[in-house]
């Protein structure tokens, strides 16, 4: 059953209907096979781009859809429900896109955004390093100015779409200052001196390739720097809140997918002469899963509506990321429980959902970092 959504306009209803069609016909049927084969579905992003789905929250002048985040995130939720790797991929692509849309010069936007929004150019986001995860300001990758270019050296880690992306949104150190010494760059694929590590062997999201990105004397023209020298941390932080909402929406979609499988199974599986769904013990399990999923959706949508209204939404974004990803973990775990032994096999999708849920508590700011953000914001609201 499709999720009953409250949307702000007629076109948003038509849009979500389109997304559901694409998700059901083009994404869901191949998700399990591509995940098992660890096959990166580059063509799926092209399809989403052609349908205009990668462009939804951006201004019309660059080919965007000028849709509120409330609508964009629900689109993302539907996609993630059909195939989590694609949902996460869209969210990663959005991080890279956001940096260009927000900090690119007029020329950079006009030159780069149409292909990025149309899905012809897939983005990757190179922020983390092996020793700079949650503590991102400790990064050591260097960009040294040499004439009209920067010479980049260093290794970026945990890069989604590594080796498959058409451009890399790179953060590198241009000065020693911990946070003000970082700059942002648009690095096209194929730049000499850029190479990729072997794909990480991950627990889930196996169709979404994750690699190290290695820079060895890679030359990036000064014209490809986004914002001023030293603006990098600002660029990274500005995309953070929106990125957290993207992952919150994906996690909610994943929880919804697990719930849907569990409910269907509970109506079909019979034990002791009746459907297992008719046992109250199992109904309570399903009810708690539904409550967690719908509470997650309400939480990210509240943050999105604050964002759409131009209000501050940092704390709510962190709360949404925390609540939605924890919900996804719990709901996918319980879905395996509902399916019993079958749920533990790879014949059913719920064990994959469980594996996919785990990383949502880790990336885009661990849930411990989210608690720090929330806690600090609470104290600041009292002590200023």
Q: Is 116 in the site for other proteins (CB under 8 A)?
A: no
Q: Is 11 in the site for other proteins (CB under 8 A)?
A: yes
**In the bound complex, what is the minimum distance in angstroms from residue 142's beta carbon to other proteins?**
41
Q: Is 55 in the site for other proteins (CB under 8 A)?
A: yes
Query: For other proteins, which residue of 53, 136, 301, 339 counts as binding (CB under 8 A)?
Result: 53
Q: Is 221 in the site for other proteins (CB under 8 A)?
A: no
Round to whole Å and give the CA distance between 107 and 93.
Answer: 20
Round to whole Å and give the CA distance between 103 and 112.
Answer: 12
**In the bound complex, what is the minimum distance in angstroms from residue 182's beta carbon to other proteins?**
35
Whether 35 is a known active-site residue: answer no
**In the bound complex, what is the minimum distance in angstroms from residue 4's beta carbon to other proteins?**
13
**In the bound complex, what is the minimum distance in angstroms from residue 83's beta carbon to other proteins?**
16
Per-residue contact flags (x/-) with other proteins for residues 150 to 189, judged by CB under 8 A? ----------------------------------------
Q: Is 246 in the site for other proteins (CB under 8 A)?
A: no
Query: For other proteins, which residue of 7, 18, 151, 369 counts as binding (CB under 8 A)?
Result: 18
Look-up of token digits 């849920």: 357
**In the bound complex, what is the minimum distance in angstroms from residue 24's beta carbon to other proteins?**
10
Query: How many degrees, rounded to 5, is the angle at CA 254 between CA 359 and CA 209?
Result: 45
Query: For other proteins, which residue of 8, 36, 43, 50 counts as binding (CB under 8 A)?
Result: 50
Q: Is 10 in the site for other proteins (CB under 8 A)?
A: yes
Task: Return the HEC string of the chain.
Answer: CCCCCCCCCHHHHHHHHHHHHHHHHHHHHHHHHHHHHCCCCHHHHHHHHHCCHHHCCCCHHHCCCCCCHHHHHHHHHHHHHHCHHHHHHHHHHHHHHHHHHHHCCHHHHHHHHHHHHCCCCCEEEECCECCECCCHHHCCCEEEEECCEEEEEEEEEEEECCCCCCEEEEEEECCCCCCCCEEEEEEECCCCCEEECCCCCCCCCCCCCEEEEEEEEEEEEHHHEECCCCCHHHHHHHHHHHHHHHHHHHHHHHHHHHHHHHHHHHHHCEECCEEHHHCHHHHHHHHHHHHHHHHHHHHHHHHHHHHHCCCCCHHHHHHHHHHHHHHHHHHHHHHHHHHHHHHCCCCCCHHHHHHHHHHHCCCCCCHHHHHHHHHHHHHHHHHC
Query: For other proteins, which residue of 7, 20, 38, 52 counts as binding (CB under 8 A)?
Result: 52
Q: What is the size of the binding site for other proteins (CB under 8 A)?
A: 16
Q: 13 or 284: whose CB is closer to other proteins?
A: 13
**In the bound complex, what is the minimum distance in angstroms from residue 276's beta carbon to other proteins?**
17
Q: 47 or 362: whose CB is closer to other proteins?
A: 47
Query: For other proteins, which residue of 7, 28, 32, 51 counts as binding (CB under 8 A)?
Result: 51
Q: 51 or 369: whose CB is closer to other proteins?
A: 51
**In the bound complex, what is the minimum distance in angstroms from residue 371's beta carbon to other proteins?**
37
Query: For other proteins, which residue of 27, 56, 113, 292 counts as binding (CB under 8 A)?
Result: 56
Q: Is 27 in the site for other proteins (CB under 8 A)?
A: no
Per-residue contact flags (x/-) with other proteins for residues 67 to 86, judged by CB under 8 A? x-------------------
Give the pairing type, strands 167-173 and 123-126.
parallel
Q: Any idea which residues carry the catalytic annotation? A: 364
Interacting residues with other proteins (CB under 8 A): 10-11, 14-15, 18, 21-22, 47, 50-53, 55-56, 65, 67
């Amino acid at each position: 059953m499709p999720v009953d959504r409250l949307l702000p306009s007629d076109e948003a209803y038509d849009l979500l209907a389109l997304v559901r069609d694409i998700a059901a016909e083009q994404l869901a049927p191949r998700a399990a096979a591509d995940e098992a084969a660890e096959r990166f579905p580059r063509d799926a992003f092209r399809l989403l781009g052609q349908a205009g789905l990668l462009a939804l929250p951006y201004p019309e002048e660059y080919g965007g859809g000028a849709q509120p985040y409330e609508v964009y995130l629900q689109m993302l939720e539907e996609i993630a429900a059909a195939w989590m790797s694609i949902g996460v991929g869209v969210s990663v692509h959005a991080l890279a896109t956001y940096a260009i849309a927000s900090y690119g010069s007029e020329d950079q936007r006009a030159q780069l955004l149409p292909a990025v929004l149309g899905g012809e150019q897939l983005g990757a986001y190179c922020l983390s390093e092996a020793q700079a995860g949650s503590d991102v300001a400790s990064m050591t990758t260097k960009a040294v100015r040499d004439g009209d270019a920067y010479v980049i050296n260093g290794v970026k880690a945990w890069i989604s779409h590594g080796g498959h992306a058409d451009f890399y949104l790179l953060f590198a150190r241009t000065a020693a200052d911990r946070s003000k010494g970082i700059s942002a760059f648009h690095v096209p694929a194929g730049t000499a001196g850029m190479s990729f590590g072997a794909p990480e062997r991950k627990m889930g999201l196996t169709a979404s390739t994750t690699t190290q990105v290695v820079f060895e004397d890679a030359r990036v023209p000064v014209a490809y720097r986004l914002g001023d020298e030293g603006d990098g941390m600002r660029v990274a932080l500005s995309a953070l809140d929106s990125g957290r909402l993207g992952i919150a929406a994906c996690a909610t979609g994943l929880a919804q997918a697990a719930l849907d499988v569990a409910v269907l199974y509970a109506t079909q599986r019979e034990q002791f002469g009746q459907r297992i769904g008719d046992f109250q013990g199992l109904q309570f399990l399903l009810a708690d899963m539904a409550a967690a999923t719908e509470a997650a959706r309400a939480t990210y949508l509240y943050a999105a509506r604050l964002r759409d209204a131009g209000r501050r939404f940092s704390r709510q974004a962190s709360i949404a990321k925390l609540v939605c990803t924890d919900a996804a973990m719990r709901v996918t775990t319980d879905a395996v429980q509902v399916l019993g032994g079958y749920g533990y096999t790879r014949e059913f999708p719920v064990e994959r959902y469980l594996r996919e849920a785990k990383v949502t508590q880790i990336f885009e700011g661990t849930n411990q970092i989210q608690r720090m953000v929330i806690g600090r914001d609470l104290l600041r609201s009292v002590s200023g």
